Amino acid sequence: MAIRVNLDVMLAKRRMSVNELAERVGITPANVSVLKNERAKAVRFTTLDGICRALDCQPGDILEYVDERHQQ
């Protein structure tokens, strides 16, 4: 997939667990894990907003476009 999810990096930088983030955002830890492990097919803007608020970051800190055509 061309979108890389760097949620694990931000969680580590903020020293926050999946469970703590889930509680702050109001979603299940399983849903955080799905996103963190890049298995999500979509993310709601409300969820992204909650994650950014909880981690005090920008969406670009979590989501990154990777042009797979130029990777070898």
User: What pLDDT is recorded for position 72?
Assistant: 58
Mean pLDDT, rounded, of the chain? 94
pLDDT tens digit sequence for 35-59: 999 999 999 999 999 999 999 999 9
Instruction: Give the burial class of 20: count Cβ atoms within 10 A of its Cβ; 0-12 exposed, 13-18 middle, 19 or more buried.
Output: middle
Distance CA 64, CA 23 (A): 24
Q: Give Cα 20 distance to the centre of its chain.
A: 14
Q: Where are the domains of the chain?
A: 3-57
Q: What is the CATH number of domain 3-57?
A: 1.10.260.40
Q: How far are the Cα atoms of 15, 51, 72 from residue 62, in angstroms, in the given order?
A: 15, 9, 23
The pLDDT assigned to 53 comes to: 98
pLDDT (0 to 100) of residue 71: 66
